[in-house]
Chain A
Amino acid sequence: MVDDFILRALAAGIGVALIAGPLGCFVVWRRMAYFGDSLAHSALLGIALGLLYGININLGTVIVCTVFALLLVWLQQRRVLATDTLLGILAHAALSIGMVALSFLNNVSFDLYSYLFGDILTVRISDLYWIYGGGLLVIGLLVFNWSSLTLMTLHEDLARAEGVNTVWANILLMLLMTIVVAVSIRIVGILLITSMLIIPAATARQLVSSPESMAIWAAVFGLIAVVAGISGSVEFDTPSGPSIVTAAAIIFALLSIVAAMRRRS
């Protein structure tokens, strides 16, 4: 007999893997890994605001991350500082402000560790609504804009010449990432969200020859990592986030060896 909380965690993890895989392809292609990390750091401020003002934590995270992304776009347009510098400033400022805000909370039950590395015990039914609702939105927008986003990734001016609104498309990608960050916190934790985006996609890259199959295989590898990681987490009483990422890293390593051997033969 499997416990309810494990089923909830599995359902949540599978949902996260299915969204993070395809979106992760764009993170890999467009070198947005650092952006993903920064976005996740700013999520701590969202959690703090959620707890302080009693609003839903997922909602708080989406709001803070969206503000973060728009602030970044605005600062980028001014072209005074490089993007990685801006990200460093914004991410660490948000993380620090989040920590300071959290220290004002007189809530003994608050467990920072579970937010940093994920904790499957904290997954509630309402989180599943967030994951699958947000997930459908992300997948829908991704599928609908797939060709435009892929073309823009290959050549921004070419996409523009053919009628793609590249400013809007860039903002769209950022907003999709904020949703993924918000819904992934319970499962993998703030510090490891980016790995759910990039490790499955990077694993898939070694096998495929089309952008579409990379997206599908990334979802599949993410799913395997989630199931293996959560099972391991339950079995050995390890934190869920690191367990899932460890599984994903092992799959990546195995596939890398297979791909290298195939290339040699």
Chain B
Amino acid sequence: MTELLSARQISVYRDGKTILEDVSLSIGEKDFITIIGPNGAGKSMLLKCMMGFYAPSKGEVVRRAGLKIGYVPQRLVADHTVPIRVRRFLTLRKRAPKDVLLNVARETAIEEILDHPIHVLSGGELQRVLLARALLDDPDLLVLDEPAQNLDVTGQLAFYKLIEKIYAERDVSILMVSHDLHLVMSSTREVVCLYHHICCHGEPNVVTRDPEFISLFGNDMARLMAVYNHSHDHNHNHDEASHPHDHSQSHTHEHLEKLDG
């Protein structure tokens, strides 16, 4: 597997505080990595170091030559003082042929709003516009920083569905920071749990059982994840049942299965 982008033992210190400590992370082809962690855990800083905004205090970031990164920020605050339509926003600093632009617009369902000014768009539309902009150069890696943070629940679901579709259809790796792990569980290949250092990482269903994960997010979150894990896991591998469950967990579990059926 060729590495697209990797952080090698990077540390970041700011104002006498440790933001990141000895973090290593490697993104290969067709990877789907989700970084989770509490507020102030250094998630955004890790992304920014990996994209080269800041040099880490220690360690290094290695980038494959010619790597194309598409970046989707948390939100675009569309300022009404700047008059700009979606079409022009997409092509600022980018030379996109008409058919490429239209294809990407269709892919992200924004072809209807291409001639709207960006300050009248809804939150979901703005995020899709940002996603479209990131896709225009046909990137090897999409970097998303809590891309659905400011959307309502329906909007979040729709947005993550779109990300999954793009991941399935394109030859692209995904590195995403997200709080909505339960929504991205099924597509995420690897979860990295960050709190200044990497607490634990691995496949989603493994990570959510990790004691480090539980100590960071609490039992409730872990249980919630276990539930989602299960409902998305079509093998219905019941060896979870052999673990000593407490009552509440099996309760939620049953409840959800009923809903599913």
A interface residue numbers (CB < 8 A to B): 28-29, 147-148, 150-151, 153-155, 157-162, 164, 205, 208-211, 213-214
- CB-based contact A160/B83 at 8 Å: no
- CB-based contact B71/A162 at 8 Å: yes
Contact residues in A for B51 (Cβ distance below 8 Å): 160-161
Instruction: Given A151-B92, A154-B89, check contact A205 B71 (CB 8 Å).
Output: no
B199 at the interface (CB under 8 A from A): no
- Within B40-83, the residues touching A (CB, 8 Å) are 48, 51, 53, 69, 71, 73, 76-79, 81-83
Q: List 17 A-B contacts (CB under 8 A).
A: A28-B81, A147-B92, A148-B93, A153-B79, A154-B76, A154-B78, A154-B82, A154-B84, A154-B92, A157-B48, A157-B53, A157-B71, A158-B133, A205-B83, A208-B83, A210-B84, A211-B84
Interface string of B173-195 (1 = CB under 8 A from A): 00000000000000000000000
Instruction: Given A151-B93, A155-B76, A158-B71, check contact A210 B53 (CB 8 Å).
Output: no
Cα distance, A225 to B83, chains bound together (Å): 23
B85 at the interface (CB under 8 A from A): yes
Contact residues in B for A205 (Cβ distance below 8 Å): 81, 83
Cα distance, A159 to B92, chains bound together (Å): 10
Instruction: Given A157-B53, A158-B71, A161-B69, check contact A147 B84 (CB 8 Å).
Output: no
B88 at the interface (CB under 8 A from A): yes
Contact residues in B for A150 (Cβ distance below 8 Å): 82, 84, 92
Contact residues in B for A161 (Cβ distance below 8 Å): 51, 53, 69, 71, 73, 143
Q: How far is the CB of A41 from chain B (nearest CB, A)?
A: 24
Cα distance, A158 to B93, chains bound together (Å): 11
A-B contact count (CB 8 A): 62
Smallest CB-CB separation from A214: which chain B residue? B83
Interface residues on B, range: 20 to 34
- CB-based contact B117/A209 at 8 Å: yes
Contact residues in B for A211 (Cβ distance below 8 Å): 82-84, 88
Instruction: Given A155-B73, A158-B71, check contact A29 B92 (CB 8 Å).
Output: no
Contact residues in A for B76 (Cβ distance below 8 Å): 154-155, 158
Contact residues in A for B84 (Cβ distance below 8 Å): 150, 154, 209-211
Cα distance, A157 to B72, chains bound together (Å): 10
Contact residues in A for B93 (Cβ distance below 8 Å): 147-148, 151, 159, 162, 164
Cα distance, A210 to B91, chains bound together (Å): 12
B interface residue numbers (CB < 8 A to A): 48, 51, 53, 69, 71, 73, 76-79, 81-85, 88-89, 92-93, 117, 130, 133, 143
Cα distance, A205 to B83, chains bound together (Å): 7
Cα distance, A147 to B91, chains bound together (Å): 9
- CB-based contact B82/A153 at 8 Å: yes
Smallest CB-CB separation from B74: which chain A residue? A157
Contact residues in A for B88 (Cβ distance below 8 Å): 210-211
* Contact of B81 (CB < 8 Å), options: A29, A151, A160, A164: A29
- CB-based contact B73/A157 at 8 Å: yes
Contact residues in B for A28 (Cβ distance below 8 Å): 81
Cα distance, A208 to B79, chains bound together (Å): 15
Q: How far is the CB of B64 from chain A (nearest CB, A)?
A: 16
Cα distance, A178 to B73, chains bound together (Å): 33
Q: How far is the CB of B20 from chain A (nearest CB, A)?
A: 18
Contact residues in B for A151 (Cβ distance below 8 Å): 92-93
Cα distance, A257 to B150, chains bound together (Å): 36
Cα distance, A171 to B130, chains bound together (Å): 27
Contact residues in B for A157 (Cβ distance below 8 Å): 48, 53, 71, 73
